[in-house]
C-alpha cells in the first residue's frame, strides 16, 4: 500500500495537469494533489487543458474522459501528437468502458475508476513517477521474478508460481496468461492482446475461455491480484 511519504519522495519535483469538468471533484482532488506535486494546474475541460499544455511542460496528465469542448480521448490524441512519450492517467466511469479501447490502442496503460479511490490514484501516480525518474521496479526481486504480494512470487524464466517455499501447479494456458500479464505490471491487456499472445505461442483461446481461465487462476494467486477492467481487459495488480 502506497503511503503519502513515499509518494512525496518521488513527486515533489514534478508537475501535473488535471482536467475534470465536475467542479467539486476537480477542486477537492486538486487540493490533495498539491500536497505532493511541485505544480498542479486544474482545468474544466480538454480545450483549456490543451491550451495550457501547449504553453507549459507537464510530467503527468490526469484527465477525465467525458468533458465539454474536447473530451479526454481527443485530448489524449492531441497530446500524443505533440509528445508521444507523455505520461497520461485516465479517469473513467464503469459505463465508459467502450471508450477505453482507443485509449489503450494509443498507448495509455493507467486507468483510475470513478468514483476515485485515492489509494488507487496514489499507487498509479507513484508508478508513473518512478518510471519518469527511471527508478528500478521494486516489486520485482530480480529481472525475472515477480512478487505478486509478500508471499507469492512468479518466476517468468522457469514458469513457477510459488507461495513461500511451495510451488503451485499451473497449466500451460495459465502460464501463458501469467506471462503476458506480468510482462508489464499494471498494463491492461485487452482480449485481443491476449488472443494474439496465445497465437504467438501456437495456442488458441477465445474471450469466453479467457474468462473461465481467469476464474480458475484466481483460486491459485493472491486475492485481487488479477483485475478485470470491465469491457476492456485484464491486468495484474501487485499488492505489496
Q: Is residue 110 located within the same domain as residue 150?
A: no
Per-residue pLDDT at 96: 61
Three-state SS at 144: coil
Q: Is residue 21 located within the same domain as residue 126?
A: yes
Note whether residue 179 is domain-resident: yes
Per-residue pLDDT at 2: 66
CATH number at residue 116: 3.40.50.2300
Q: Is residue 10 located within the same domain as residue 126?
A: yes
pLDDT per residue as tens, the chain (240 positions)? 667 888 998 999 999 999 999 999 999 999 999 999 999 999 999 999 999 999 998 999 999 998 988 999 999 999 999 988 889 999 987 556 666 777 777 778 688 888 888 888 998 899 888 888 865 544 433 447 888 888 999 998 889 999 998 999 999 999 999 999 988 767 788 888 899 889 988 899 998 999 999 999 999 999 889 988 877 889 888 765
Per-residue pLDDT at 141: 37
> Which of 107, 132, 157 delimits the end of a domain?
132
CATH number at residue 220: 1.10.10.10
d(CA 212, CA 76): 34
C-alpha pair distances (Å), 55 with each of 48, 82, 152: 11, 12, 46
**What residue numbers bound the domain in which 112 lies?**
4-132
Per-residue pLDDT at 142: 40
Per-residue pLDDT at 114: 86
Largest CA distance in the chain: 56
d(CA 191, CA 195): 6
Q: Is residue 219 located within the same domain as residue 194?
A: yes
Would the pTM of this model clear 0.85, i.e. be above it? no
Q: How many helices (H) and strands (E) does the chain have?
A: 9, 12
Per-residue pLDDT at 219: 95
d(CA 97, CA 83): 25
Note whether residue 214 is domain-resident: yes
Domains contained in the chain, number: 2
Amino acid at each position: 500500500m502506497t503511503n503519502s511519504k513515499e509518494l512525496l519522495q518521488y513527486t515533489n519535483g514534478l508537475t501535473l495537469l488535471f482536467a475534470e469538468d465536475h467542479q467539486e471533484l476537480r477542486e477537492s482532488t486538486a487540493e490533495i494533489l498539491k500536497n505532493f506535486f511541485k505544480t498542479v494546474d486544474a482545468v474544466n475541460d480538454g480545450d483549456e487543458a490543451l491550451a495550457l499544455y501547449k504553453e507549459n511542460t507537464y510530467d503527468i496528465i490526469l484527465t477525465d474522459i467525458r468533458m465539454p469542448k474536447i473530451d479526454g480521448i481527443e485530448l489524449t490524441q492531441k497530446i500524443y501528437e505533440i509528445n508521444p512519450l507523455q505520461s497520461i492517467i485516465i479517469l473513467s466511469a464503469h459505463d465508459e468502458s467502450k471508450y477505453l479501447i482507443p485509449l489503450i490502442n494509443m498507448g495509455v496503460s493507467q486507468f483510475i475508476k470513478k468514483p476515485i479511490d485515492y489509494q488507487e490514484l496514489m499507487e498509479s501516480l507513484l508508478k508513473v513517477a518512478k518510471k519518469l525518474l527511471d527508478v528500478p521496479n521494486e516489486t520485482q526481486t530480480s529481472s525475472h521474478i515477480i512478487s505478486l504480494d509478500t508471499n507469492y512470487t512468479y518466476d517468468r524464466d522457469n514458469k513457477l508460481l510459488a507461495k513461500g517455499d511451495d510451488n503451485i501447479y499451473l497449466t500451460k494456458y495459465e502460464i501463458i496468461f501469467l506471462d503476458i500479464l506480468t510482462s508489464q505490471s499494471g498494463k491492461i491487456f485487452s482480449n485481443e492482446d491476449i488472443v494474439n499472445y496465445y497465437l504467438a505461442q501456437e495456442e488458441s483461446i477465445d474471450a469466453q475461455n479467457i474468462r473461465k481461465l481467469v476464474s480458475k487462476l484466481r483460486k491459485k494467486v493472491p486475492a485481487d491480484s488479477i483485475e478485470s477492467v470491465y469491457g476492456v481487459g485484464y491486468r495484474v495488480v501487485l499488492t505489496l
